[in-house]
């Protein structure tokens, strides 16, 4: 049993990690300020796991509070998910993104140093890579994030590298997620965007439920089997399991390391639309639009490093992703506010 601080635990990915951590008998302390989530998400987690867990409503940039709570809880591990993540907003408000994402990480590292916690697992992203020079993408691919959100991830990875270098017993594991989608099989927790969804899956879900009129497909003339963009989608429960695998296999990591989390499989926008239509039994009208600037035709990941170091690989397929997403969406057409 490990003692884990989970930052950003009320969010989409965090709620699924709490379920997995508690299911594997770990002790968690969740910290979140609900800047992009709802307390109702944590109530739903409690329903799934049938027990309560420790929670602190705090901004992670509040160094004093974070230091104090770490001293009391004495974590063995930190899983650091909290951060602002809207790419478009990060272009409009770069300083807010650098401030929130970087200061919160510094505050956590100081609190870890103060209480002797040596292992941090960080939510990084495939957006740290530049335009794919080859596929599948592996961890030694060149970098080239194109927006402040992606750059904040890369800067944090560098900070963690220096932090781990300064202490021979410290470990920083940067997990570079590809495209997390889907929901817990219960349909009680899932992705609940506060605004118009930025990502394909929640958008398709809202078209299927009738909340949005149609899906915009940006470009159908890429060099892919059906011309639409191909991405590596990973089920959020597989992703949650990868974090707990990182906790349980941290002895395999030396100092700082980065590991891709994907499925080694690409799916096109039209494949997703068709699968979602089958699983939801709803019509999904769509319109072909011009390509978006900065989009690439195809992007998917290798899982070799995750398999070797974490003993983890994704198990769930596109049907699981669509059916679980639909279960959450149909139970919560207006997100957690429907509870």
Ligand X SMILES: NC(=O)c1ccc[n+]([C@@H]2O[C@H](COP(=O)([O-])OP(=O)(O)OC[C@H]3O[C@@H](n4cnc5c(N)ncnc54)[C@H](O)[C@@H]3O)[C@@H](O)[C@H]2O)c1
Smallest CA-to-CA distance from 206 within 325, 47, 56 is with 325
For 254, other C-beta atoms within 10 Å of its C-beta total: 10
Tell me the torsion sign for CA atoms 45, 47, 50, 53.
Answer: positive
Per CB under 6 A, the list member of 4, 5, 6, 11 interacting with ligand X is: 11
- Residue 102 to residue 6: CA distance in whole angstroms: 17
- Check binding of 8 to ligand X (CB under 6 A): yes
Per CB under 6 A, the list member of 4, 5, 6, 10 interacting with ligand X is: 10
Tokens at 198, concatenated: 């930025």
- Check binding of 177 to ligand X (CB under 6 A): yes
Q: Which residue minimizes CB distance to ligand X? A: 11
Tell me the torsion sign for CA atoms 255, 25, 18, 76.
Answer: negative
276 as an active site residue: the answer is no
Per CB under 6 A, the list member of 90, 105, 123, 265 interacting with ligand X is: 123
Smallest separation, CB 107 to ligand X (Å): 9
- Check binding of 107 to ligand X (CB under 6 A): no
CB-CB contact of 325 with 190 (8 Å): yes
- Check binding of 91 to ligand X (CB under 6 A): no
Smallest separation, CB 143 to ligand X (Å): 15
The site for ligand X, by CB under 6 A, has a size of 28
Residue 166 CA, distance from chain mean position: 28
Specify the residue, 82 or 164, whose C-beta has the smaller distance to ligand X: 82
* Partners of residue 299 on adjacent β-strands: 231
Specify the residue, 69 or 275, whose C-beta has the smaller distance to ligand X: 69
Per CB under 6 A, the list member of 26, 40, 85, 316 interacting with ligand X is: 85
Smallest separation, CB 259 to ligand X (Å): 13
- Residue 158 to residue 195: CA distance in whole angstroms: 31
Smallest separation, CB 144 to ligand X (Å): 16
- Residue 72 to residue 209: CA distance in whole angstroms: 45
Out of 98, 149, 203, 222, the active site residue is 149
Per CB under 6 A, the list member of 21, 45, 79, 125 interacting with ligand X is: 125
Q: Name which of residues 127 to 146 contact ligand X (CB under 6 A).
A: none
- What is the DSSP code string of 103-145? HHHHHHHHHHHHHT--EEEEEEEGGGB-S-SSSSB-TTSPB--
Residue 297 CA, distance from chain mean position: 22
- Check binding of 96 to ligand X (CB under 6 A): no
CB-CB contact of 1 with 27 (8 Å): yes
Specify the residue, 61 or 258, whose C-beta has the smaller distance to ligand X: 61
Specify the residue, 84 or 160, whose C-beta has the smaller distance to ligand X: 84
Specify the residue, 33 or 260, whose C-beta has the smaller distance to ligand X: 33
Specify the residue, 8 or 297, whose C-beta has the smaller distance to ligand X: 8
273, HSE (Cβ side, Cα atoms, 13 Å): 18
- Check binding of 104 to ligand X (CB under 6 A): yes
- Check binding of 37 to ligand X (CB under 6 A): yes
Specify the residue, 193 or 227, whose C-beta has the smaller distance to ligand X: 193
Q: Name which of residues 282 to 311 contact ligand X (CB under 6 A).
A: none
Q: Coil, strand or helix: which one is 79?
A: strand
- Check binding of 335 to ligand X (CB under 6 A): no
Q: Name which of residues 201 to 260 contact ligand X (CB under 6 A).
A: none
List CB contacts of 140: < 8 A, sequence separation 6 or more. none
Indicate the pairing of strand 267-268 with strand 230-231.
Answer: antiparallel
Structure-token match 């057409």, residue found: 333
Query: Which sequence positions are flagged as catalytic?
Result: 149
Interface residue list for ligand X (CB under 6 A): 8, 10-14, 32-37, 59-61, 81-85, 100, 104, 123, 125, 177, 179-180, 199
């Amino acid at each position: 049993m490990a003692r884990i601080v989970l930052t950003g635990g009320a969010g989409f990915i965090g709620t699924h990690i709490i379920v997995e951590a508690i299911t594997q008998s770990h002790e968690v302390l969740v910290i979140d300020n609900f800047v992009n989530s709802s307390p109702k998400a944590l109530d739903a987690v409690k329903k799934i796991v049938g027990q309560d867990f420790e929670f602190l409503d705090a901004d992670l940039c509040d160094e004093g509070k974070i230091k104090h709570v770490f001293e009391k809880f004495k974590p063995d591990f930190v899983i650091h998910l909290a951060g602002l993540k809207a790419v478009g907003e990060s272009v409009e408000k770069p300083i807010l993104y650098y401030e929130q994402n970087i200061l919160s990480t510094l505050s956590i590292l100081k609190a870890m140093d103060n209480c002797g916690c040596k292992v941090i697992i960080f939510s990084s992203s495939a957006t740290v890579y530049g335009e794919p020079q080859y596929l599948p993408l592996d961890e030694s691919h060149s970098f080239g994030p194109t927006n402040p959100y992606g750059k904040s991830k890369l800067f944090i990875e560098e900070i963690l590298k220096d932090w781990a270098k300064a202490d021979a017993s410290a470990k920083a594991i940067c997990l570079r997620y590809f495209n997390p989608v889907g929901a817990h099989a219960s349909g009680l927790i899932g992705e609940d965007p506060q605004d118009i969804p930025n990502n394909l899956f929640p958008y398709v879900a809202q078209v299927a439920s009738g909340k949005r009129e149609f899906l915009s497909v940006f470009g159908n003339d890429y060099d892919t089997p059906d011309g639409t963009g191909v991405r590596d989608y990973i089920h959020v429960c597989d992703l949650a399991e990868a974090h707990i695998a990182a906790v349980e296999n941290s002895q395999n990591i030396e100092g700082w390391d980065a590991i891709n989390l994907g499925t080694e499989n690409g799916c096109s926008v039209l494949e997703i639309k068709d699968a979602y239509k089958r699983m939801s039994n709803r019509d999904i009208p769509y319109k072909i639009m011009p390509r978006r600037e900065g989009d690439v035709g195809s992007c998917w990941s290798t899982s070799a490093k995750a398999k070797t170091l974490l003993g983890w690989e994704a198990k769930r397929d596109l049907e699981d992703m669509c059916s679980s997403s639909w279960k959450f969406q149909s139970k919560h057409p207006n997100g957690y506010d429907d509870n």
